[in-house]
Amino acid sequence: PAQNAADSPFPKAELHLHIEGTLEPELAFALAERNGVTLPYATEDELRRAYSFSDLQSFLNLYYALMAVLRTEDDFADLTHAYLARAQAQGVRHAEIFFDPQAHTARGVPVGTVIEGLTRALDTAEERYGITTRLIMCFLRDESAESALATFEAARPYLDRITAVGLDSAEVGHPPSKFKEVYALAREAGLKCVAHAGEEGPPSYVWEALDVLGVDRVDHGVRCLEDERLVARLVADQVPLTVCPLSNVRLRVIDELADHPLPAMLEAGLLVTVNSDDPAYFGGYADDNFTAVRDALDLDEETLRTLARNSFRASFLDEPTREAYL
Ligand code: ES4
Ligand code: ZN
């Protein structure tokens, strides 16, 4: 019988996943109770009803508010274990995980608490879940360049646990060039570089991510299609784009999944991957995104395999490990 992606998900790498975006209502309430934090929602159902977004900012407001429950190393470790268990069930064999240190340091949680908690869980991931992992430290682009620099310096003692830096949060009005200096420091320290660009922001932000920040991958990047020269550049250099289909629908970057430019992006020769972004908020984890695009866009098995292969090609795994998946 034909394999059903839902009950036998094929191996894939997840390259665009915010760990704070995996906070499910159930865990949010459990951690609120454990930490004596009062949430502005009475029940899990009431919270779930708030998951209706009009744009990126309307989502970010809830995303940052719910983080109030994350306070201790245990909280970050529990959050990470919950994600890894779900990812394993979805065929994820490798995960490159974003975290937002400033969203926690701003609430008085030291960056060391965040990183120690995350890595305590991640250190068990290969053995317990069969998932290799990397950590990507993101700067909040709607905070200042100085704040990003201070965050990078505060994280220096932990850089051996961090593979790359990234850039996220409210995009429009905060072009990549604002963070030129901290990206130069990150590269000097031997880190890879990625940045969200071309989600809500214009193609010029993708150009800046490439030419000013020197990114190795672009997160989202779907608006690149508005600029023919940019597409040609991304294709020529095979710069990976970490596309998040369910996220794009929930944040109204596109109207509905059937209109998603994923097929056009593949057709153009772009190195596209499928990812879940903030799965607790957007209605699905890694394989749920694969299944959703398969059904909405009528993708054949070969295309799904290409997308899965792309996810390993685009990863920061070492060459031999990557090759073994291709
Ligand atoms: C995010 Cl979907 C998205 N875009 C930008 N920043 C983010 N942080 C968490 N999810
Ligand atoms: Zn994202």
For residue range 189-209, list pLDDT tens digits in order: 999 999 999 999 999 999 999
ipTM above 0.90, yes or no: yes
Helix, strand, coil percent values for the chain (each to nearest 5): 55, 15, 30
The residue whose CA is least distant from atom 8 of ligand 1 is 169
Which contiguous run of DSSP H or E holds residue 272? strand 272-274
Q: Is the CB of 196 under 6 A from ligand 1?
A: yes
* Per-residue confidence (pLDDT) for residue 8, from 0 to 100: 75
* pTM for the whole structure: 0.97
Structure-block tokens of residue 230: 């940019």
Provide the 3-class DSSP secondary structure of residue 88. Answer: helix
For residue range 273-322, list pLDDT tens digits in order: 999 999 999 999 999 999 999 999 999 999 999 999 999 999 999 999 99
* Per-residue confidence (pLDDT) for residue 7, from 0 to 100: 59
* Per-residue confidence (pLDDT) for residue 1, from 0 to 100: 39
The ligand 1 atom nearest the CA atom of 20: 9
Extract the residue ranges of the chain whose pLDDT is less than 70. 1-7
Domain ranges of the chain: 12-315
Q: What single DSSP character describes residue 277?
A: B
CB 151 within 8 A of CB 123: no
* Per-residue confidence (pLDDT) for residue 218, from 0 to 100: 99
Q: How far is the CA of 167 from the centre of ligand 2 (A)?
A: 9
For residue range 56-74, list pLDDT tens digits in order: 999 999 999 999 999 999 9
Question: Hey, what CATH topology would domain 12-315 get?
Answer: TIM Barrel (3.20.20)
Query: Could you say which ligand is closest to the alpha carbon of residue 171?
Result: 1
Name every residue whose Cβ is closer than 8 Å to that of residue 241 and which is 6 or more positions away in sequence. 217, 218, 219, 220, 221, 222, 224, 234, 265, 270, 271, 272, 273
Place of tokens 């997160």: 219
